[in-house]
Amino acid sequence: MSRTLHLNAFLMSTGHHEASWRLPESDPLAHMDVEHYIRLAQIAERGLFDSIFFADSPVLEAEPGQRPTGKLEPTILLTAAALRTSRIGLIATASTSYNDPYNLARRFASVDWVSGGRVGWNIVTTAGADAARNFGLDDVPDHRLRYEKAAEFVDVSTKLWDSWDDDAYVGDKQIGIHSDPDKVHQFDHAGEFFRVAGPLNVPRSPQAYPVLVQAGSSEDGKGFAARYAEAVFTAQQTLDDGKAFYTDLKDRARRLGRDPEAVKILPGIVPVIGDTEAHARELDEELANLILPDYQRRNLAERFNLPVEALDLDGQLPEDLPLEDDIQDAKSRFTLIVNLARRERLTVRELIARLGGGRGHRTFAGTAEQVADTIQEWFVSGAADGFNIMPAVLPSGLETFVDQVVPILQQRGLFRTEYESTTLRGHYGLARPENQFTVAESAIAR
């Protein structure tokens, strides 16, 4: 096949399943161990993955008594992984609501230099009043306003990354010129949310920009992705939903004058892999039995803006749930969870078990062959350009995927057998961005 899969490994502490830390094999302190994450990056690189990904949030996301909480700052993890790997891409989340464009652009440009051009930025706007209160705000800003701020944030960041021409460095010891000052640009941005003079204090990095990744699937999120994203992490439960999202987002990008092939769509999948289908289901059931349902019921109630007592563990979701328009936090995930529960007529207890593996991403228990089959079906049906692989248990789930599923995908001609590029942009088949200041100067000269 001329078109091949893109695979990203989404790495989270002991695994994506809520109860993975309770397994005998798991280290409950793995989430604070940099060597744990480096080993995972090396396993993914052995499997020729395009990239690894660390999510992040400026808030404690779970009750400390229930599961491993707290996270090391992800660009620090990327830097550590960069020094112990050579090819795999390195993606981290950073919020446009609670960062400054200058500092964030500098951090990502620095890691791109350290890694030789392997960095990506997952752009999030950050929902949740708890995060807002950590930054002196009483509540989370309006959903649409967050995306407007994010758009300006990205525009400012690209100006900063472009503030050095590629050939600004001279390094002429004889005449004493290190860099050409005419090729370093102050741009004096003054917008609704930010005022930034520039230039950045880091020269243009090997990729020019980090690969821009986005994960929101609301209407605002899809509009933002169509304008900016080069890779999209999404959560879709059914093949039809996946095809509809894929077609919609590619069409939006096309209407904005972008090449739809330059927007890679990677749905999340949580594979639980066994020697037989029955064995895989046993592993999945073992994890489900370790979930603490009362804790997850509180989480669901908070997501739905309901009192806990409104959710009966052995009953279905109430009929009078809020509408998506009434939700400020993670609108698309709210709708996905409600649709899943309604479509399959799940009790709250059953819904909690389904969400325990991937918080709304598609879970799949089966053999390596069956996992490869479902990946291939989505890929050839126009529902995905690749997948965000979210192992239920780490490191064993990633090792099993690399050792058992990747060879099947390679045998079918669906996945690379060696790296052909040294940069993340190269892995994803993305062009290196032109420098907007150089382009503008060329246009004036003509």
Sketch out the chain's domains with CATH numbers: 6-286+360-445 (3.20.20.30)
Q: Please, what is the average pLDDT of the chain?
A: 90
List the end-to-end C-alpha distance of the chain, in Å, as a whole number: 42
- pLDDT of residue 1 exceeding 60, the answer is no
Q: Which residues pair with 232 in a beta bridge?
A: 214, 265
Distance of alpha carbon 227 from alpha carbon 244, whole angstroms: 18
> 263, 232 in Cβ contact below 8 A?
yes
Phi, psi of 268 (to 5 degrees): -85, 145
pLDDT (0 to 100) of residue 8: 98
User: If DSSP codes are grouped into helix, strand and coil, which group holds residue 234?
Assistant: strand
Regarding predicted confidence, which is higher, 155 or 362? 155
If one counts every other C-beta atom within 10 angstroms of the C-beta of residue 22, the result is 17
Q: Between 91 and 353, where is the model more confident? A: 91
Give mean pLDDT, residues 113-131. 92
What is the per-residue pLDDT across 409-422, written as a single tens digit (0 to 9) for each? 999 999 999 999 99
Spatial CA neighbour of 54 closest among 16, 20, 86? 16
Query: What predicted TM-score, i.e. pTM, was given to this entire model?
Result: 0.89
Mean pLDDT of 62-68: 68
Per-residue pLDDT tens for 70-79?
A: 789 999 999 9
- At 280-309, the pLDDT tens digits run 999 988 888 887 777 778 777 777 777 888
